[in-house]
Structure 1
Amino acid sequence: MLETLQTVVEVVAVTDPLGPAPPGAAEHAHISYDDLMKRGSGEPLPWSVDDETSLISINYTSGTTGTPKGVMYAHRGAYLNALGEIIHQRLDPESVYLWTLPMFHCNGWCTPWAVTAVGPTHVCLRAVRADMIWQLLDEERVTHLDGAPTVLTTIAGAPQAHQLDRELVATVAGAPPGPTVIARMRELGARIVHVYGMTEVYGPYTINEWQAGWSALPPGDQARRQARQGVSMIQADPVRVVDENMVDVPRDGRTMGEIVMRGNNVMLGYYRDEEATEHAFRGGWLHSGDPGVQHSDGYVELRDRAKDIIISGGENISTVEIEHAIETHPAVLEVAVIGIPDEKWGERPKAFVLRKPGADLNEAELIGYLQTHIARYKVPKAVEFIDELPRTATGKPQKFALREKEWAGHSSRIQG
């Protein structure tokens, strides 16, 4: 693989002293991380760039097509989003931030820059484990954390959960959090900051800003209000919900449309993919692919998700990617993957598989095979072997028919 990367000059091996080395890392690396650090000097780094609209990073996302696309961030968008994080999460130099959010996800929603900029303490986790989170909450006096709804579910449902003696600012995004987990976290002493966004908008773009009048509502109603995705953050342009002709839908909380965005906190475009960029920005606005409604107070609310992307624990999982991996198994003839309800993760992939005639393959064997071919969080929760797939008149698998069966009794694909 490395020999095909013509622009790669050097490979650095980062060894985890508490974990196994990645397979093949030693023979492919040119130097160790420690040797790389020895090259550094005490000279100050430059604090300016020639053009603030120039590229600062490329973040890969599966988006809504299943094909990884490089989302290009500008310096300007990154620092504005970081400032927005500081303001809305109320970070200050005395804050203690616990990393329950992966730093790789949209650059950690730009939070690594935000926390570093204002000078709080970073507390890092090796894995999202309830016992360790509660230990650090108590020992390190953690004041802030970010994560998907499943992280809040893990915290709220832990045996170690107890009333906090200080406010914990818990920012949640990645999938709409359920009112139940919001209410439980508030009971423990957390202040929920519910934001919505995507990789293409530097992570968070809207916030459910708490309104004074909500405090007089019953707790259940408060949680339902706070489960909405809200209004644009201070650094972002106003968000819209539009119909197929780019006309704003009525602000009645019922009429469905697509959420679209634009401004400094929208990506420069997709790296070396003009066609995808043009499609994403049709009509001059970035199309999220997320259906939603807008309420009379301007707050947007997601009503579902793009149909073929599974939102599991805040991470986008492409059904196409999983299907392609399954299809490489010699015993598989055809496959369709959908998201099914999952109490912890919101939804998880399930595969419907047709075996080749005479082939012998069971669920455990296929799952074991996939664990060596795709990331483990993308491996299906379940595999069902069937004799035929429901199809359209043109022969395409009818995934909606599979979904209807699996989601019977659920009013929405938004769980948590």
Structure 2
Amino acid sequence: MSIEEFVERASEFYDYPLTLTNLIKWGVDTFPEQEIVYAPPDAPKLRLTFTQVWDRVRRLATALEQLGVKPGDPKRLGTRVGALEWNSHRYLELYYAVPGLGAVLHTVNVRYSPEDIAYTINHAGDEILFVKDEFLPLLQAIIPKLKTVKKVVLMTDKPEPPQVKLPGVEVYNYEDLIRSSSPYDFKDFDERTVATLFYTSGTTGPPKGVFFTHRQLVLHAMAIAISTSAPPYELSVRDVVMPLVPMYHVHAWGGPHAMFLAGQKYVFTGRMDWGYILKTISEEKVTYVYGVPVILYLLLTHPDSPKYDLRGLKYGNGGSAMPEGLYKLARSRGIIVINGYGLSETAPVIAQALFKASTLNWPEDKKENYLMKGLRQIPLTFIRVVDEYGKDVPKDGKTIGEIVVRSPWLTPAYFKDPEKTRELWRGGWLHTGDVAVWDSDGHIWIMDRLKDVIKSGGEWIVSTKLEDIISTHPAVGEVAVIGVPHPKWGERPVAVVVPKPGQRVTEDDIKNYLMKFVEKGEIPKWWVPDKVIISEKELPKTSTAKADKKILRELYKNVLSA
């Protein structure tokens, strides 16, 4: 057979599909006895092997098919199945069973308002909802607004499931479905079939849907498995991983997909209880934890935290910049913090603080600067920093531009929103809305969100730089710097500071502290905030636990004109 004939007839032989079930199949074949622990704070721990989870995934798939779940293909979506749940083995099973049928898993953000939750379920067109019993009051409140939901499957950690009736909806129990179903025999299908859908909040308008295919998520998982095995992560089958980013948020950063390639033990903790999580980290000998900065802050400032030896624990940071003060607090406890970067639109990981071979010989203080802030693109990802005309800014470590990216796993569009899709993908590159500089070695240093940069008198003030400095004040627990309207300068910076528990700090303390950095030439004097607000309440958070600057800007919009 000639090469021309082979290419023409290739699909007659075997066109291997990059589907998610092939990830878990390989993991089960290679690491069958590796452990998955479900350790909720209010129920006994459950220990399952990869083999046992795979059996449950297959049984769940049979149950889903019997509930009427239909596959999709590259041109149409399969049945949308929503999930309202904390991090658990059940969520992991849904990650594979639903897409394994060619259907679409909608990971519902339970931190949204009830109105936004109802909106996203309706917008997605979910027909079946898997709901943890503690979310039943929420579901009962919004069920009259849900237009497409026909069936609900209840999940519980209690010995006996609650007996619930919902108007016009069939109700099932998760474990009953698992027990009564035989293992499903997964079939191959087109890897371009959509596997997941979830929603991301912007500064204006309702949440926007992003979606990803099997091929995209498999490639994303492979890239993460490669990058986290490299320095400084150096994760292997010997590591014990605890994801502290919710599984409803951007595939829990790809961990539940990459885990079967890396063969790592995973510990899922249900609802986040920080004292219990510290105890579980110790009991399960967790070596790697990942989440947003505020989670690290809550672990380090919890009253029980001093009881535990955290030396050697690695913390994968993402979601927002790591404040320098928090980084130093973590290092004082022996924790190794490693920065990462991504968006909901990018599945999410596209860059990490990866070391080049030459970096390994650097002095520790220089390494730490790169661990905290420096980024390199992960495999198969290409990142540029561009000006407003789409041209690369100089790699001088000074000139600010927007990060744009190309990668095999970027969302192709916003779901049902062609206008915002065109804006996202203008010029053929995905526009992140983040501003950065890059240096001659190709390291990327994120400066701020484009929407959070403060435009004062025609110049930019980088809010994250001010937050970094203020966070190093010994009395500061949390800080956010926002731009507030000013009649002369357009905008001026205002800092909102939350003291550490038991500490006291004043506006003058913060301004005087900043002046030390002005005197050292680290920031110009005109960057010093016009006002520092000391708050006894924690900063408002987004649904992903980042400081919600949109709320802060609205709350303090008149503070400089009062």
Match of 1:295 in 2: 439
User: Offset of 1:88 from its aligned partner?
Assistant: 2.4
Match of 1:120 in 2: 264
Distance 2:147 2:554 in 1: 40
Kept in 2, the 8 Å contact 1:340–1:403? The answer is no
Match of 2:213 in 1: 74
Residue pairs, 1:71-150, within 5 angstroms = 71-90=210-229, 91-150=235-294
Deviations 1:331-384 (A, max 9, x none): xxxxxxx99635599xxxxxxxxxxxxxxxxxxxxx9xx9xxx97979989999
Q: 1:128 to 1:213 in 2, by over 3 A?
A: same
Look up the SS of the partner of 2:350 in the other structure. Answer: strand
Q: 1:237 to 1:118 in 2, by over 3 A?
A: closer
1:240 to 360, 384, 408: 384
Look up the SS of the partner of 2:451 in the other structure. Answer: coil
Match of 2:351 in 1: 206
TM-score in terms of structure 1 length? 0.69
Distance 2:346 2:551 in 1: 34
Kept in 2, the 8 Å contact 1:182–1:223? The answer is no
User: Offset of 1:305 from its aligned partner?
Assistant: 1.6
Match of 1:224 in 2: 369
Amino acid aligned to 1:49: F
CA RMSD after TM alignment: 4.1
Kept in 1, the 8 Å contact 2:433–2:451? The answer is no
User: Offset of 1:179 from its aligned partner?
Assistant: 2.9
Count of matched residue positions in the alignment of Structure 1 and Structure 2: 336
In the alignment, structure 1 residue 341 sits paired with structure 2 residue 496? yes
Once the two structures are overlaid, the 10-residue window that deviates more, 374-383 or 179-188, is 374-383
Distance 1:203 1:344 in 2: 32
User: Offset of 1:64 from its aligned partner?
Assistant: 4.5
User: Offset of 1:239 from its aligned partner?
Assistant: 0.7
Look up the SS of the partner of 2:218 in the other structure. Answer: helix
Amino acid aligned to 1:267: T
Distance 2:360 2:263 in 1: 33
Q: 1:86 to 1:403 in 2, by over 3 A?
A: farther
Kept in 1, the 8 Å contact 2:150–2:170? The answer is no
Distance 1:339 1:66 in 2: 25
In the alignment, structure 1 residue 57 sits paired with structure 2 residue 201? no
Gaps of 5+ in 2: 1-141, 230-234, 454-462, 465-481, 483-492, 501-536
Kept in 1, the 8 Å contact 2:155–2:174? The answer is yes
User: Offset of 1:99 from its aligned partner?
Assistant: 2.6
Residue pairs, 1:361-380, within 5 angstroms = none
Kept in 2, the 8 Å contact 1:148–1:172? The answer is yes
Distance 1:381 1:197 in 2: 19
Q: 1:42 to 1:189 in 2, by over 3 A?
A: same
Q: 1:174 to 1:274 in 2, by over 3 A?
A: same
Once the two structures are overlaid, the 10-residue window that deviates more, 236-245 or 6-15, is 6-15
Once the two structures are overlaid, the 10-residue window that deviates more, 80-89 or 268-277, is 80-89
After TM superposition, the runs of 4+ consecutive aligned structure 1 residues lying more than 6 A away are 308-311, 374-384, 398-401
TM-score in terms of structure 2 length? 0.52
Match of 1:37 in 2: 178
Distance 1:215 1:25 in 2: 64
Gaps of 5+ in 1: 312-318, 320-337, 346-366, 385-397, 407-416
Residue pairs, 1:307-326, within 5 angstroms = 307=451
Match of 2:305 in 1: 160
In the alignment, structure 1 residue 402 sits paired with structure 2 residue 557? yes
In the alignment, structure 1 residue 249 sits paired with structure 2 residue 388? no
Distance 2:371 2:363 in 1: 12
Q: 1:113 to 1:378 in 2, by over 3 A?
A: closer
In the alignment, structure 1 residue 180 sits paired with structure 2 residue 325? yes
Match of 1:12 in 2: 153
Kept in 2, the 8 Å contact 1:231–1:238? The answer is no
User: Offset of 1:298 from its aligned partner?
Assistant: 1.3
Look up the SS of the partner of 1:297 in the other structure. Answer: coil
In the alignment, structure 1 residue 196 sits paired with structure 2 residue 337? no
Amino acid aligned to 2:335: A
| Structure (1 or 2) with the larger CA radius of gyration | 2
User: Offset of 1:216 from its aligned partner?
Assistant: 4.2
1:268 to 400, 409, 412: 412
Distance 2:192 2:144 in 1: 33
User: Offset of 1:141 from its aligned partner?
Assistant: 0.9
Look up the SS of the partner of 1:126 in the other structure. Answer: coil
**Richer in helix (by share):** 2
Look up the SS of the partner of 1:304 in the other structure. Answer: strand
Kept in 2, the 8 Å contact 1:229–1:300? The answer is yes
